[in-house]
């Protein structure tokens, strides 16, 4: 038992120091192997709001005012309401944002099938020979830093950054830390990862009444994960959604001053790394998966349905046309977009397409690498979707109606079959992730481990 846990501020400082020491050890013998030339140098900020699903953004039609800051930011940015997450959980998804490659291409993935992250069946880190934005921009003379509230993000890619800070604090503190880090720096790339909408939720007191969050047991975390037939479920589900929306609003509030103070020449990307499920598809999840924890319809990491795979994406950058669009794009498009707007060459092997052009609307997009039960792959094409479970040879296809899957189609359309077959099995990952006892405790608190 860590005695500092009774003193959250001191414990966070201690944990941050431990992460920094581990980070220094990882990087001390590391050399930057891949470089780029940046012809149009600009500062770059990538903000990831963990668990942020697209249909809970007020600017995209949600009925509660969850994101007034980002709604206003969209007036001068490209705002995509139909971005696809490369994976339904953080560890594989963030490396895809930073590399422009899907998890099977960068290697940050689990090996066995079925898998059980909750039993400390940890994934392998991305391959060291896969270049990512912090590597490339460091080679071009940038200072690079990751400020995160989610340790999984640091575990996946923290060693790619010159500076890391991991504190289990709310968005206000993390945003302040990011601003302190890049203040006075001449050329910087900052990855800011906020965890407020991730269970256990960080719900600001000022938004509890505004969003009508009732005082219910465990509303910041989860109940009714195995069954929705128990008494009180409907009241709890409504309360849990309200609490989530209030947590999203807290993260949005914290970004207001930061986004307002950045100059127009700064490249800014904001996105969710994956979404969050609120009992939209528990029966279909049971049909596709055998979750070792017995959880269906909640949280993330064990399905690739729209509620976890569809995320918002905002990009403000010179050359990227401000627009509000529902055309399908992917988070693997972030890295090539950033490099393009800096006048840098995009490395070979990247699957993403720069958003300063008009990416092929018919290209197949992929979400993969679940963490519990059987691995699943979702592929979108031409307004339809297929979910495949390679281990059991199960495939279900869907029309997408109002952003969510309808009942499964009788057969899988040929266009989806061909799109699915175009993604190979991929590469082996790098070194297996390992954690210390304190980080293990935090991962358990976040719901990753049992």
Least confident of 27-36, 37-46, 159-168, 384-393: 27-36
Query: Taking residues 63-75, what's their average pLDDT?
Result: 98
For residue 10, name the pLDDT band (cuts at 50, 70, 90). Answer: low
- Classify residue 237: in a domain, yes or no: yes
Residue 342 pLDDT class (50, 70, 90 cuts) = very high
Average of per-residue pLDDT across 336-360 = 90
Beta bridge partners of 324: 79
321 located within any domain = yes
What does pLDDT average to over the chain? 92
pLDDT at residue 298 greater than cutoff 70: yes
- Give residues with Cβ within 8 angstroms of 142, minimum separation 6: 38, 44, 187, 188, 189
Q: List, in sequence order, every residue forming a beta bridge with 116; answer none if it has no partner.
A: 372
Per-residue pLDDT tens digits for 142-179: 999 999 999 999 999 999 999 999 999 999 999 999 99
Is residue 320 in some structural domain? yes
Q: What's the average model confidence in pLDDT over 434-443? A: 86
Q: What is the pLDDT of residues 108-122, one digit of tens each?
A: 999 889 999 999 999
| Strand-pair category, 298-299 with 277-278 | antiparallel
Contacts 24+ apart (CB under 8 A), 161-166: 161/23, 161/134, 161/191, 162/27, 162/134, 162/138, 164/19, 164/20, 164/23, 165/16, 165/19, 165/20, 166/15, 166/16, 166/19
Q: Is residue 420 part of a domain?
A: no
Partners of 84 in the β-ladder: 310, 330
Q: What is the CA angle 62-80-241, rounded to 5?
A: 30
What digits encode the pLDDT tens for the residues 364-419?
999 999 999 999 999 999 889 999 999 999 999 999 977 889 899 999 999 999 99
Q: How far apart are CA 441 and CA 249, in angstroms?
A: 27
> Which residue, among 311, 328, 282, has the nearest Cα to 52 in the 3D structure?
311
Our CA dihedral for 69, 222, 110, 364, rounded to 10 degrees, sits at -50
Residue 383 lies in a domain: no
Q: What is the pLDDT of residue 218?
A: 92
How far apart, in whole angstroms, are the C-alpha atoms of residue 340 and residue 342? 5
Q: What is the DSSP letter of 26?
A: H
Q: Supply the pLDDT for residue 34.
A: 67
Distances (CA, A) of 402 to 13, 71, 296, 383, 384: 44, 20, 22, 11, 12
176 within domain boundaries? yes
- Look at the block and give the residue holding tokens 């959880």: 295
What pTM was estimated for this model as a whole? 0.94
- State the pLDDT at residue 378: 98
Give the integer Cα–Cα distance in Å for 234 and 236. 5
> For residues 99 and 126, is the Cβ–Cβ distance under 8 A?
yes
In a domain, 5, yes or no: no
User: What's the CATH number where 15 sits?
Assistant: 3.40.720.10
CA gap 60, 220 in Å, rounded:
24
Of 92, 80, 147, 141, nearest in space to 321 by CA = 80
What is the pLDDT, as a whole number, of residue 196?
98
Band of the pLDDT at 33, cuts 50, 70, 90?
low
Q: For residue 329, is it within any domain? A: yes
What is the Cα–Cα distance from 216 to 220, expressed in whole angstroms?
A: 9
Q: Output the CA torsion sign for 292, 294, 298, 303.
A: positive
Q: Per-residue DSSP letters for 354-383?
A: -TTS---TTS-EEEE--SEES--EEEEETT
Tell me what pLDDT residue 273 has.
Answer: 98
pLDDT band at 63 (very low <50, low <70, confident <90, very high): very high
Residues 6+ apart with CB under 8 A from 222: 199, 240, 298, 299, 447
Number of folded domains that form the chain? 1
pLDDT, position 325: 93
Give the structural domain span for 64: 11-27+34-365+425-445
Helices 8-27 and 437-445 meet at what angle, rounded to 10?
120
% of the chain at pLDDT higher than 70 = 92
User: Which range, of 15-29, 165-179, 207-221, 293-307, averages the lowest pLDDT?
Assistant: 15-29
Euclidean distance between CA atoms 31 and 411, whole angstroms: 50
């Amino acid at each position: 038992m860590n005695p500092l846990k009774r003193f959250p501020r001191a414990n966070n400082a201690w944990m941050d120091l431990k992460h920094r020491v581990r980070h220094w050890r990882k990087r001390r013998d590391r050399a930057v192997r891949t470089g780029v030339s940046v012809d149009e140098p600009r500062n770059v900020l990538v903000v990831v709001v963990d668990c942020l699903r697209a249909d809970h953004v007020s600017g995209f039609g949600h009925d509660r005012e969850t994101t007034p800051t980002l709604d206003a930011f969209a007036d001068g940015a490209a705002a995509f309401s139909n971005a696809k997450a490369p994976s339904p959980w953080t560890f594989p998804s963030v490396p895809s944002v930073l590399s422009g490659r899907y998890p099977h291409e960068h290697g940050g993935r689990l090996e066995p099938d079925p898998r059980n992250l909750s039993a400390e069946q940890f994934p392998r880190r991305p391959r060291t020979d896969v270049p990512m934005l912090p590597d490339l921009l460091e080679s071009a003379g940038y200072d690079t830093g990751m400020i995160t509230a989610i340790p999984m993000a640091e575990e996946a890619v923290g060693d790619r950054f010159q500076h890391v800070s991991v504190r289990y604090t709310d968005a206000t503190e993390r945003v302040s830390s990011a601003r302190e880090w890049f203040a006075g720096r001449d050329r910087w790339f900052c990855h800011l990862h906020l965890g407020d909408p991730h269970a256990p939720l960080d719900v600001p007191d000022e938004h509890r009444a505004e969003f009508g969050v009732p005082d219910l047991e465990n509303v910041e975390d989860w109940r009714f994960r195995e069954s929705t037939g128990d008494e009180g479920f409907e009241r709890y589900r409504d309360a849990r959604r309200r609490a989530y929306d209030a947590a999203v609003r807290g993260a949005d509030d914290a970004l207001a001053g930061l986004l307002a103070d950045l100059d127009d020449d700064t490249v800014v990307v904001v996105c969710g790394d994956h979404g969050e499920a609120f009992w939209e598809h528990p029966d279909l999840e049971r049909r596709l998966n055998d979750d070792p924890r017995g959880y269906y319809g909640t949280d993330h990491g064990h399905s690739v349905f729209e509620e976890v795979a569809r995320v918002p994406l905002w990009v403000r950058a010179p050359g990227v046309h401000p627009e509000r669009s529902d055309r399908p794009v992917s988070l693997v498009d972030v890295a090539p977009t950033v490099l393009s707007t800096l006048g840098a060459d995009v490395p070979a092997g990247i699957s993403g397409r720069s958003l300063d052009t008009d990416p092929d609307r018919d290209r197949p997009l992929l979400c993969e690498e679940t963490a519990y039960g059987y691995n699943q792959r979702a592929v979108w094409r031409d307004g339809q979707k297929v979910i495949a479970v390679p281990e059991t040879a199960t495939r279900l296809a869907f029309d997408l109606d109002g952003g969510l899957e309808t009942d499964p189609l009788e057969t899988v359309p040929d266009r989806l079959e061909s799109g699915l077959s175009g993604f190979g099995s991929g590469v082996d990952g790098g070194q297996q992730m390992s954690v210390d006892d304190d980080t293990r405790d935090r991962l358990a608190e976040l719901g990753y481990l049992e």
